[in-house]
Amino acid sequence: MDRGSFSVEVILTFLLFKMYDPESIYLTRGNHETKNMNRIYGFEGEVKAKYDEKIFLLLLEVFGHLPLAAVIESKVFVTHGGIPVDIVSLDDIRIIKRGCEPPESGLMSDLLWSDPQPFPGKSPSKRGVGFSFGPDITCAFLEKNGLSLLVRSHEVKDEGYLVEHGGKTITVFSAPNYCDSMGNKGAFIHFDESLEPKFTQFEAVPHPNVRPMAYAAGMGSLFM
């Protein structure tokens, strides 16, 4: 949500796919599917401009119940941000309470906010929430849980994706020309039966003339 000015159309399209064919799409929660981020970056303003507060609160409820991660064929771990620096099991993740806003620290926060770093160990995150985790932490998490690969998003990449940590971590970012200003490609991953990632890159296309974050309070909002 939030960074573009068509987030309402995006989430409603996803939910319609889910209603029509539940197995056609699986949604996970990101750090911007939260009340605080929605208020700061414009999703709240967009929903209220296009609908009303009731619809916004309903969407917040949906966000609160989205899973924080998914596992593909017992081998590929998918989450928005990253993995916790304290090595945990998949069962530890499964029991995280849903239907709530994320705390500022802890397992839920790490899954939503953390980022990989190229060197071993952990570091405080430049975001002020979560951590930066090294290849040793990735390997330990994957080994503990019998997994082979971490796939996450959360960061713009010039080519739409980046493979790190000796091939154990992939960042994939599907918003080309992020915020109409970054000039990056977008990408997605296809996994076949071998679970080898196949990347598809794409460029941005024109959209209606509404600037990014047009509904964000204090950022050139439509309400000003």
Residue in this structure with the two tokens 């989205």, named with its chain if needed: 66
**Which residue among the candidates 32, 80, 154, 165 is catalytic per the annotation?**
32
pLDDT at 53: 97
Give residue-wise pLDDT tens across range 172-202.
999 999 999 999 999 999 999 999 999 999 9
Residue 140 C-alpha from the chain's centroid: 22
b/e 149-169 (16+ beta carbons within 10 angstroms → b) = bbbbbbebbeebbbebbeebb
Q: Cβ distance 175 to 1 under 8 Å?
A: no
Q: How confident is the model at residue 1 (pLDDT cuts 50, 70, 90)?
A: confident
Give residue-wise pLDDT tens across range 57-111.
999 999 999 999 999 999 999 999 999 989 999 999 999 999 999 999 999 999 9
Q: Where are the domains of the chain?
A: 1-66, 68-207
Contacts of 65 (CB under 8 A, 6+ apart): 98, 99
AA letter at 82 = G
Q: What is the pTM of this model?
A: 0.94
b/e 39-75 (16+ beta carbons within 10 angstroms → b) = ebbbbbbbbebeeeeeebeebbeebbeebbbeeeeee
pLDDT at 218: 58
pLDDT at 224: 31
Decide if 32 is catalytic: yes
CATH class of the 68-207 domain in this structure: alpha beta
C-alpha distances out from residue 33 to 12, 77, 100, 123, Å: 14, 20, 11, 25
Residue 215 C-alpha from the chain's centroid: 21
pLDDT at 217: 73
Give residue-wise pLDDT tens across range 110-129.
999 999 999 999 999 999 99
pLDDT greater than 60 at residue 15: yes
